Amino acid sequence: MDLIDSLPDGVVVLDAAGTVEAINAEAARMLGVDQASSVGQAAGVVLCLQDTEGRDWLEHNRPWQGLSSRTGIPEQSWLLPNGSEVLVVARIVRGSAGVQRVAVSLRSGRGRARLDRERSDLVATVAHELRSPLTGVKGFVQALLNRWDHLNDEQKKLMLSTVHSDSDRLSRLIAELLDVARIDTGRLQLYPRPSDAGMLAARVVDSVSQSTARTVVLDIERGLPPVQADPDKFVQVVTNLVENAVRHGEGTVLVTVGAGRIAEAPAVVVGVQDEGAGIAEEIRRRVFTKFWKHGTSGGSGLGMYLVNGLVRAHGGQVEIGSAPGGGALVSVLWPASTA
């Protein structure tokens, strides 16, 4: 009994006759029964689980009946006697004479409730992030439709440029969400090849500089080896870091590309630093969690989670430190190409 009591989930073992053969302390606590006196009781007396429609778990699943190939009951959500949710799964052990034993596992539904909250947070975050550019697109398109003949060419160009920019923002957000889902499910596809980190970083700096009044400076060390990376994902990572520095930092944003090492292997380090307040050491580990936000500058809260996932998928590392001037310094180490 000591061994079964050490399990984190509730466990109830039923014999061929439907009698409780063993029950651990966690299951007794969940079911609101006495552990010692429950052994030898009928399953229906101890295993009191109902769904929202009042159906009983035993009557609904009938573990001693069914096809001889049936070896288990998949995870289902049921309600304990106190009304709290529990996730129930069962293993059916068969012998020559039929079902010999049914092992029922009970797990608290709080973990699933947390996942449900995360999904709700994701929906709310996505709705908020999509609404802003969509509102701009709709407003400018409506103005163009209603006042086309009254607008000069410069006004039309400005409105269309804004629509184009907002459309790009929507496309990037959708791409990020898809990548987050692929990272979570292990289905992220990469197409790495030898790439010039300096050239790709320069492309990012030029693009971001055109959309901000902040100064973004690029410093590239000479003679760097190419990195082994998917160029699109490399650009996505560096873009996220530079835009974060512009959005959340202050002063000049400095992007450096230099030589480094990962576990004694050659690498290229891309550093992005600003002159703001920086990121306190005690919260740096939380930066890479999903939906993490700091300050009032907005954002989806997925950027650094995505950065960490993409870099690690390449075999690289992400480090957060302090810039010489006191701002934040995020360094990404990319493995150098051996080709």
Give 62-118 pLDDT, tens digit per residue.
Answer: 999 888 888 999 988 889 988 888 889 999 999 888 899 999 999 887 766 566 666
Residues 95, 304: Cα–Cα separation, whole Å:
53
Q: Are 136 and 119 members of one domain? A: yes
Residue 193, SS3 per DSSP: strand
Q: Both 139 and 213 in a single domain?
A: no
Same domain, 102 and 205: no
Q: What is the Cα–Cα distance from 247 to 242, expressed in whole angstroms?
A: 9
pTM of the complete model beyond 0.85:
no
| Contact present, 249 and 327 (Cβ < 8 Å) | yes
Q: How confident is the model at residue 298 (pLDDT cuts 50, 70, 90)?
A: low
Q: Which domain holds residue 315?
A: 193-335
Q: Say whether both 137 and 38 belong to one domain.
A: no
Rounded to 10 deg, the angle between the 153-185 and 303-313 helix axes is: 60
Tell me what the mean pLDDT of segment 248-261 comes to.
Answer: 91
- Return the ∠ at Cα 46 (arms to 40 and 49), rounded to 5°: 150
Tell me, what's the pLDDT at 318? 93
Residue with tokens 């410093």: 219
CA 259, 260, 265: angle at the middle one, nearest 5?
Answer: 120
Distance (Å, whole) CA 175 – CA 156? 29
Quick: pLDDT tens for 307-331.
Answer: 999 999 999 999 998 888 778 899 9
Same domain assignment for residues 98 and 16: yes
Same-domain status, 52 and 147: no
Do 124 and 180 fall within a single domain?
Answer: yes
Answer yes or no: is pLDDT of 251 > 90.
Answer: no
| Res. 197 pLDDT band, cuts 50 70 90 | very high
Residues 222 and 122 in one domain: no
Q: What would the two tokens of residue 28 be? A: 């007794």
Q: What is the CATH number of the domain that holds 262?
A: 3.30.565.10
* CB distance 61 to 18 below 8 Å: no
- Say whether both 28 and 96 belong to one domain: yes
Q: Which of 55, 86, 108 is the last residue of a domain?
A: 108
Reported confidence tier of residue 229, pLDDT bands at 50, 70, 90:
very high
Q: In terms of Cα–Cα distance, which of 43, 105, 102 is closest to 70?
A: 102
Any bridge partners for residue 98, and if so which? 95
Last residue in a domain, options 57, 91, 108:
108
Q: Is the pLDDT of residue 254 over 90?
A: yes
Integer angstrom CA distances of residue 215 from 12, 205, 209, 251 = 65, 10, 7, 7
- The number of folded domains in the chain is 3
DSSP codes joined into one string, 20-47: EEEE-HHHHHHHT--HHHHTTSBHHHH-
325 and 232 both lie in a single domain: yes
In one-letter notation, the amino acid at residue 201 is: A
